[in-house]
Amino acid sequence: MAMPYSEPLVPRAPGEREIPEPPRRGEPGGEPCGLCGGAAVSAVWQDDLWTLHPPVGGSLPGTVWVASREHFDSFADMPPAYAADFGRMVGRVERAILAQGNVGRVHLYRWGDGGAHFHVWFIPRPLGMLDARWMYLPIWEDVLPNVPDADLEAAAKKVAAALDA
């Protein structure tokens, strides 16, 4: 694995801690929840619990994010029905992305630092792109040139179609 930057990178200290942290979208004091407010990009697939979305601005077609239909933050406050279904859903989405081909591995990320409405990211590591293994994949995803949003949406629709196959 390797960073998408030329060496040498210079280590630096983190900035001053900001406590309390600024509110995220969808929590008290923050901007309204984009998902509950309907402002988020339209889902290309949904079932009783989950919605599946293409990214906006991205470099790796086949990347999708899955959100809960109900507003909760994380695994710590996840309603039982979602907790019971999460593994099934993740396996299903992973298989659908792998079925697109040319994928080395599907990475699953849950950050939650931007919005307080539960969502996870599925990012396919291109087959053979060993530089992008482990935590380097989202950094490469950020640095590689973006592809048109229409291409990201078309790829997400193919993943959605594979979910129902």
Q: Could you list the residues that contact Zn ion (CB under 5 A)?
A: 26, 33, 35-36, 71, 117
Q: How far apart are CA 153 and CA 62, in angstroms?
A: 9
CB atoms within 10 A of CB 53: 23
Smallest gap from residue 118 Cβ to Zn ion (A)? 8
Smallest gap from residue 114 Cβ to Zn ion (A)? 12
Contact 140, 129 (CB under 8 A): yes
Tokens 């983190």 correspond to what residue?
Answer: 14
Side-chain-facing half-sphere of 165: CA atoms under 13 Å: 14
Q: If residue 51 lies in a helix (H) or strand (E), which one and from where to where? A: strand 50-53
Smallest gap from residue 76 Cβ to Zn ion (A)? 16
Smallest gap from residue 36 Cβ to Zn ion (A)? 3
Q: Residue 51 or 97: which CB sits closer to Zn ion?
A: 51
Q: Residue 36 or 99: which CB sits closer to Zn ion?
A: 36
Q: Residue 35 or 96: which CB sits closer to Zn ion?
A: 35
Q: Residue 107 or 117: which CB sits closer to Zn ion?
A: 117
- DSSP character at residue 48: S
